[in-house]
Structure 1
């Protein structure tokens, strides 16, 4: 598994497996339900496919990940050893929310934001028929400025090309503002009242959109006073 710390301490031995760049983020993606290579890539969009494959092989050798299937249908699942990392990853996420709040421009990624939105939407709050939300991020380049979230029952799709459906409501904001809302750093109501986010749609729909989208799984972590 590469270099060692030369210590018998269990923390040191654990870090020999886990402290390579990207490794715990791959575990995070697996814990969030990603099982296939392309889904894992969407969760770590700035990681090269070659490096992702390398890290998966190392996690497999360490007994953290189990690979099943063959060819294009290869799947990756956490072993019991990997599942035991859930509270570790959740604790790190909570610590990051509480104590590492600064977001640089390099931390803002519309692909990762919309992927995280897709997999954690509270679908039980959405209408039963097809509902389409159109997002426009005014502070990013045109190629990644517009996104559509399509919810139809239990099916969720996120598109960066217009899917051609009637839009239920449109949201216009900056990528930074939406990221702050998603992280729980800024309340939906504060963003709307402060004219940082505009929701265009029927009044009842506009009122419901914040509840439909919600915030990330770590967004409710309380901040220090």
Structure 2
């Protein structure tokens, strides 16, 4: 059942009835990264009230967008095939929003799932296909990610593994991805700190992940 009724008949209206409520699309965003337990969703969306999270999950389940599934003796939420059809919509919205992202406010955070989807948004498979396979370890604020690029394939996970380049940065990674800040300059100014591997590989990262602001 739709949480709200706009009194209009049309595809966009129906979409907004299903995912237009506050927090709904961010829940979908995080589930596009992978199935999540209730507590994991709450941690990834720290400002969502518990009753709102429960209500949104129920609404999205009733709409056929997600489902509850048993996984290793716990219940997880995962997107249905219908829900996964939202991925290009979410990526397109991310690219559109990036154009006016600006500087973060003090209370705004970067989560592993939000950064994963930002990387998917910025990924340029046609460029990556012409570059050697590369693995990166990126710590973006509190988000620690293992990023593997192999041709047109992008794999972003949490955890450790062998990498060609490890670096740490913050919200200013936006300036690198937008092209506002050249990779060498990002290292010189401390926007990016290289922890392991040749700093020149940051040029490859910036070519592989790019969004025009």
- TM-score tier, shorter chain, comes to 0.5 to 0.7
Name the SS for the 2:97 alignment partner: helix
- Report what 1:29 is aligned to: 30
Q: CA deviation at 1:36?
A: 2.5
Contact 1:108 1:176 in 2 (8 A): no
* 1:103 and 2:98 correspond: no
- Report what 2:202 is aligned to: 210
Distance 1:170 1:54, change over 3 A: same
Q: CA deviation at 1:69?
A: 1.6
- Report what 1:67 is aligned to: 68
Q: CA deviation at 1:10?
A: 2.1
Contact 2:135 2:146 in 1 (8 A): no
RMSD of Structure 2 on Structure 1 (CA)? 4.1
* Structure 2 CA distance for aligned equivalents of residues 72 and 54 of structure 1: 23
Equivalent residue runs for 1:12-161 within 5 Å: 12-69=13-70, 73-98=74-99, 100-106=100-106, 108-110=108-110, 112=111, 116=115, 125-126=134-135, 156-157=158-159
| Structure 2 stretches lacking a partner, 5+ long | 124-132, 148-155
Q: CA deviation at 1:207?
A: 1.8
Distance 1:8 1:155, change over 3 A: closer
Which structure has the larger Rg?
Answer: 1
- Report what 1:163 is aligned to: none
Distance 1:65 1:150, change over 3 A: closer
| Structure 1 stretches lacking a partner, 5+ long | 138-143, 159-168
Q: CA deviation at 1:136?
A: 9.6
* Structure 2 CA distance for aligned equivalents of residues 7 and 92 of structure 1: 23
Name the SS for the 2:67 alignment partner: strand
* Structure 1 CA distance for aligned equivalents of residues 31 and 134 of structure 2: 25
How many residue pairs align between the two structures?
Answer: 189
Q: TM-score, normalised by structure 2?
A: 0.65
* Structure 2 CA distance for aligned equivalents of residues 148 and 10 of structure 1: 38
Name the SS for the 2:48 alignment partner: coil
Contact 1:68 1:74 in 2 (8 A): yes
* Structure 2 CA distance for aligned equivalents of residues 68 and 33 of structure 1: 13
